[in-house]
Structure 1
Amino acid sequence: MMLPDYVVESPLWGTLYAAGVMAAALTIAAVIQLVFVAVVRNRRRANPDGLDVDMLQTVKGPAVLFAVIMGLFLAYLTLAQITHPAFEVIHGREAWAKNVWLIIIIIEFSYLGSHLIQTMMTWYLHNVAAKTATDLDDKLIPPLRRLAPLIVYSITSLLVLDVVGIAITPMLAGLGIGGIAIALAVQPTLSNFFAGTYLISEGELNEGDYIELDKGPAGFVVEVGWRSTKIRNRINNLVIIPNSKMVDTIVTNTFSPTPAMNVVITCGVSYESDLEQVESVVQRISDDIVEEFEFTVTGSEPFFAFRAFGDSNIDFIVSITCTSRAGSFIVGSELIKRIHKRFREEGIEINYPVRKLIAAESNGSGHDNLLEQAIIENEQSSQATR
């Protein structure tokens, strides 16, 4: 920065010049403050939920601070060029001052960048993510918002070290090796995290869905997190399942694509039964249940079919579409009760096996009596219902 000779040679004029520079910087800072306040007020009046309002609010403070810092730096450079002996203490320190100024600017811009990223993510979370059909962004934004400052300030630290003359290349190499070691140490956590990312991005599991894991627990989904999935089982216990296990097993979602599900009842009638009568009776019972119960899907047709020739019965199935899994238990129970009652009234027989236990005592050789039990399954045609 070139100064007039009278400023360089005179301590009075030099001091006044530096004070003028500082005063100009403060004036610019005040103008920036007033301009930002006016613009923010107008934009908030026009669009209260606009992203630009939040962005301007975030930029205002750092912009004012930048003007003040520039004023201080230029004022210092002015004083450093005064040749009077009173200012010898600061002569030759311009390079040091530039490094300090550069470090402050790096930190300030890092602060600004970090807060701008968080402002944009917060605005998106409140104004966009809340209105989307899926909750992927609702769950993705919070961890990213916490991670962003960490990344920004890590880069800032490396830049500051480079400014002060510390070689960062060996540090980057060391961080690479250390990163591999850390990755191996936290491999299970990372595995669960990426599995959670997959589960959330797929959107196949939602809170309230009833899921069943192959050879695992079953229950209602409470939360699909980044590390684990929480379900509440039938006895109201909270089961926490690592996401890595969720993606490596077969998961049945009874609520997908819709909560509606079929309740299927299997039964059988004796070979002497009139099959036309059996079908008619069961069909009337099913139709009545569909009309009477709110847990059945309105307009759905019950399904009836004879299935196979069994050992003692002709097997059949009957199916009714229910609105939910909970409703299917109620409908299934009522269907069994009505079929049993109506078969008794109609004289339709359901054969079932009878077990006879035959006990034989020991031959009295001095040992305790031994019982030899032989279970003979004798399929007898017994009238279970009349």
Structure 2
Amino acid sequence: MRLERRILSLIILILIVILSVRLFESLLGSLFKDIAPIYQAHRHLVYAAIATLVGAAIIQSVATATLGWFKEKHRPEAYYVRNVTILFGYIILGFVDAALLGVSGESLLASATFTGLIIGLALQPVLSNFFSGILILASGFLKPGQSVRITGPVTISVLAFPAYKFFSRDQLLPSLKGTIIEVGFMFTKMLDTDGQLVKIPNSILLNSSIVAEELEESKTIQVRYEFPIYCDPDTVLSELRSAISPFVKEFNLYIEEQSDKQYYIVLIVAHTPTSSKTREFRSRVLREVVKVHRKLGNCQSPDK
């Protein structure tokens, strides 16, 4: 209902503007004959100004209506669609203004070259973020609702600890992890795992490595667990295989190494189903391993 009202309001606004301009021109020709020639000479400037104001109002109204419609549908790409609508709307408005002003392609190119040189040097950081935002929006490699890890120039911290991870086979990515909320023209908003809203300049995003957690692709996880040395390895592997096989199709079990004189380490390498997340899947595997350990107990020494 709101969308229909907004469209009706825009149509009424356009009709009012057209009628007002026509009425003004007719009154100007009959009442102010001395000013009429000056107005006729610069009429294209008036048309361009009116088109800019009305066009901007239409673009903002359409973008707001689109945002509201997508939010009602609970779609995560609501802000993405709004920003793309604004971008292409102003591009079209720019061409309309150029046509009304009678700007030719040659003069537009010449003025854009000189102006772009000055503005580009003065606003290099701002323009870098702006055009990076346009490229991100146009390419769509980052979308709202997508879970990603951002590595590279994003400042995190030096990865020095924990020391026990030095010999781990797990992947350690010094990164910023979270869910994309909105891709804007200057900044991209991301909600990190702690629930904090992070605004990242688009130029940094474009120069960073993006690790996307795609649910459609299978991923490999590794789980390492220590068992007492007195537990029979064949029994441990057999019990683990029976516990994991009901929900994991592809996995391998290894006796990886002896951690000290009292324990040895079992390594589980498994492939996640395409519909599950890595952390949840790994948690489930580890839960089954703990159950097997509790079932076997401490495996007393054969001498006792």
With the shorter chain as reference, the TM-score category is 0.5 to 0.7
Residue 191 to residue 113, structure 1, CA distance change in 2 (3 Å): closer
Task: Find the partner of 1:222 among 168, 178, 181.
Answer: 181
In 1, the alpha carbon distance for the partners of 2:65 and 2:6 equals: 11
The TM-score normalised by the length of structure 1 is 0.52
Alignment partner of 2:243: what SS? helix
Q: Which amino acid aligns with 2:23?
A: V
Q: Report the equivalent of 1:304.
A: 252
Q: Which amino acid aligns with 2:81?
A: D
Q: Which amino acid aligns with 1:186?
A: L
Cα offset, 1:340, TM superposition: 3.3
Which aligned pairs between 1:195-214 and structure 2 lie closer than 5 A?
195-214=132-151
Cα offset, 1:179, TM superposition: 3.2
Residue 230 to residue 335, structure 1, CA distance change in 2 (3 Å): farther
In 2, the alpha carbon distance for the partners of 1:202 and 1:343 equals: 54
Are the equivalent residues in 2 in contact too, given 1:269–1:348 (CA < 8 A)?
no
Residues 165-223 of structure 1, C-alpha deviations (whole Å, 9 max, x = no match): xxxx8xx9787534312212222222222222233333343334332233432233333
Q: Which amino acid aligns with 2:291?
A: R
Are the equivalent residues in 2 in contact too, given 1:55–1:116 (CA < 8 A)?
no
Residues 96-116 of structure 1, C-alpha deviations (whole Å, 9 max, x = no match): 531124435641464146525
Residues 22-54 of structure 1, C-alpha deviations (whole Å, 9 max, x = no match): xxxxxxxxxxxxxxxxxxxxxxxxx95896x56
Task: Find the partner of 2:30 among 75, 92, 98.
Answer: 75
- What is the root-mean-square deviation of aligned Cα atoms in Å? 4.7
Q: Report the equivalent of 1:26.
A: none
Are the equivalent residues in 2 in contact too, given 1:134–1:203 (CA < 8 A)?
no
Are the equivalent residues in 2 in contact too, given 1:286–1:320 (CA < 8 A)?
no
Percent of aligned positions with the same letter in both sequences? 16
Matched, 1:327 2:277: no
Q: Which amino acid aligns with 1:227?
A: M
Residue 306 to residue 348, structure 1, CA distance change in 2 (3 Å): farther
Matched, 1:191 2:114: no
Q: Report the equivalent of 1:66.
A: 21
Number of matched residues? 266
Q: Report the equivalent of 2:204.
A: 245
Are the equivalent residues in 1 in contact too, given 2:77–2:143 (CA < 8 A)?
no
In 1, the alpha carbon distance for the partners of 2:300 and 2:249 equals: 26
Larger radius of gyration: 1
The TM-score normalised by the length of structure 2 is 0.63
Task: Find the partner of 2:36 among 89, 97, 106.
Answer: 97
Which aligned pairs between 1:155-304 and structure 2 lie closer than 5 A?
176-214=113-151, 215-254=174-213, 256-258=214-216, 263-267=221-225, 274-287=232-245, 300-301=248-249, 303-304=251-252
Q: Which amino acid aligns with 2:82?
A: D
Gap runs ≥5 in structure 2: 152-173
